[in-house]
Every structure is written in C-alpha cells, then in structure tokens.
Amino acid sequence: MPQILKVDSNQSLKNYSKYIRNILKSGGVIAFPTDTFYGLGVDPFNEKGIRRVFEIKSRSYNKPLLVLISTKAQINQLALNRSQEAERLVKRCWPAPLTLIFNAVPSLPDILTSNTGKIATRLPKSAWTRHLIQTVGFPLTATSANKNGEKDTQTAQEVLNSFGNSIDLIIDPGPAPGGKVSTLLDTTKTPPTILRTGAITQQEIDSCLSNESTLVS
C-alpha cells in the first residue's frame, strides 16, 4: 500500500522535502489536494513518471496532462512565446482555478503534451498546494486522481480506494475543497478560447483582459 503522509495544513513540509523529491525524481507518483480535487503529481520532465500516470489512470495518450506551478515566474520553465493576452491573464487572474494553455518549451516530453506542442498550466489558489510545489522545487502535474470514468476524489481515502498500490505516496493535509473544476482556456488562439467550462466564467476572463480588476475570491 502507498504511504499516507498525514500533515497539518498549516505545517511546513520542509522536513519531508527530500523524501518527496526523491520519489518524484525516481519516476514515482504522488497524490495531493489541489485547489479543486486531489491530483496525481509527477515531475513533468520525467517521462517514466508521466507514462505511469497514463497507465494507472487508464488515460488515453492523446489527452495531455496539466501542470501546476507555485509562482508566476515558474511559468518560464514550461511555456514560451506567450501572447500579450496570455501575459495579461497571468498577471491579473492568477492564482485561480483557471488553467491556461501556452506554447510548450521544447524540453518538455512529448508524452506530457500529447505531441501538441502546448502545455496546460495553472497557478492554484490553494496556498498549501503552492507550498508543496515550492517545497519539491519544481512544477508538478496535477491530473485528477481518479481512474478514467470515475468521480473526482476529495480525500486521501478516496484516492487510496481508487489506486491502491499503483501510486507511491498520498499526502494528506485534509480534504480538497471540491466544487467546480478549473476552466480551461487556450491562450495560443486569438481571442483566447474556452475549451472546458468551469469555476471561472467567460465574463471574469473578459474582465481580466479588459480591466485592472482581478477575479472575485
């Protein structure tokens, strides 16, 4: 069975950083709560880990994996040639349950992007999730921690019930908040196009693009 690492949501993860990082660097898969549901995390530059995620989720290889970052500056590790509209959305909308699609850096594995040359990225609103990413020292994938066709998971126990021995570590600071999934917006198109409706509305996106206002909490 995978280890369930129970931590206080206000607790620093510094004491666990090396342990978690070693799992990820070896191609391991972890589960952790995001600003919506639990997600499966691997090093987005580790092809072994990425392939394991597709296998254990029974996920089609033509569906790219999204990646979470801990700071706006970290986007430079993943994306390039961003449009002015994309930069405006990053500056005014994030952090939020808004996943933005950018042109991917060439060093990202093709399996991660499903050979699209694009990367879906989000700066999560959850301070704890950002802290975890900062602790491990690199971005993390965060595809939903459920098998194909199953419901999204909100607790460590639900993740364990779904995957059992298939993953290496479940980090449990408490349940994920749930709610609506993140909105998926393709910023490589003009104007940016919603590919999946979710927590952030078209009106809120338009507001970020046209005004100095930010998203409502």
Q: What is the pLDDT of residue 42?
A: 98
pTM: 0.93
Domain parsing of the chain, residue ranges: 3-210
Question: Within 10 Å of residue 100's Cβ, how many Cβ atoms?
Answer: 27
* Per-residue pLDDT tens over the stretch 180-195: 999 999 999 999 999 9
* Per-residue pLDDT tens over the stretch 104-132: 999 999 999 999 999 999 999 999 999 99
Q: What is the pLDDT of residue 143?
A: 95
How far, in Å, are 112, 208, 212 from residue 204 at the CA level? 29, 6, 12
CATH number given to 3-210: 3.90.870.10
Name the pairing type of β-strands 3-6 and 169-172: parallel
Give exposure, 33-48, as e/b (b: 16+ Cβ within 10 Å). Answer: bbbbbbbbbbbbbbbe
Q: What is the pLDDT of residue 1?
A: 66
* Per-residue pLDDT tens over the stretch 129-177: 999 999 999 999 999 999 988 999 999 999 999 999 999 999 999 999 9
